[in-house]
Amino acid sequence: MVCPRAGVILFPRLKDAVVNNGSLGLGLVFQLKMENDLGLNLQEKQAIVAEVNEQVTQAQAIVLAEYRGIAVSDITKLRATARKSGVYFRVLKNTLARRAVQGTPFEALAEKMVGPLIYSISADPVAAAKIVHEFAKTNGKLVIKAGAMVGSLMSAEQVAVLAAIPSRDELIARLMATMNAATSTFVRGLAAIRDKKEAETAAA
């Protein structure tokens, strides 16, 4: 099938796509991948819905962000950052995403699933918002559209507020630092008492 606007021959697999001059721009590759999702068979669609639904049922938060003209290299960086933070990150057809949230506490988010969207899903209530918000601050082509916590929709502004809250890992790190500092102070205090007693014994 030929795309008349770009002179591109579309095949069932993106790797088989060819442009007249023999190359594909990164942005075009990304767009074609989304278009090729339309060619998924029923079993493939069901598998995607099941995978996303599994993530949703374990989630505390979901963030939707619109991408337009964003480079694949930037998406790759964002995906890597998300993976390190335990965030499930996927570019997904909205029809499949709507099916994935049916019957879950995030079902109301379906009405916000419009346009080319990236889905970020996390068991940590803050992680998804933080990852996407931080990336969007330096890349204007990624725009947060909406989000949700269990049973509650969030606007883009509310997602930004959520992103400012320390994540679970950050809170644990702060707690450990505080505990380590307290332990060090306690140990130094014991050492000082010991040294004082030894000095008094030696003087006697």
Residue 169 and residue 177: Cα distance in Å, rounded? 12
Geometric angle at alpha carbon 24, from 19 and 29, rounded to 5°: 115
DSSP lists the bridge partners of residue 148 as 62, 153
Domain topology for 46-163: Alpha-Beta Plaits (3.30.70)
CA 178 to chain CA centroid, nearest Å? 29
Report d(CA 92, CA 191) in Å as an integer.
60
Q: Kindly report, residue by residue over 140-150, the tens digit of the pLDDT.
A: 999 999 999 99
Give the amino acid at 77.
Answer: K
* Residue 146 structure tokens: 């909406």
Q: Model's pTM, two decimal places?
A: 0.67
Q: What is the pLDDT of residues 156-191, one digit of tens each?
A: 999 999 998 876 666 556 556 666 655 666 566 656
Which pLDDT score, from 0 to 100, does residue 149 have? 95
Residue 57 confidence (pLDDT) above 70 = yes
CA dist., res. 24 & res. 51, Å (int): 30
Output the pLDDT for position 198: 63
The pLDDT tens digits of the residues spanning 9-39 come to 333 333 333 333 333 344 444 444 544 455 7
What is the average pLDDT value for the chain, to the nearest integer? Answer: 78
Residue 154 has pLDDT above 90, yes or no: yes
CB-CB contact of 158 with 148 (8 Å): no
Assign residue 103 a region (left: φ > 0; alpha: ψ between -120 and 50; beta: otherwise). Answer: left
SS3 assignment, position 11: coil
Q: Residue 4 above 70 pLDDT?
A: no
pLDDT in the model for residue 204: 63
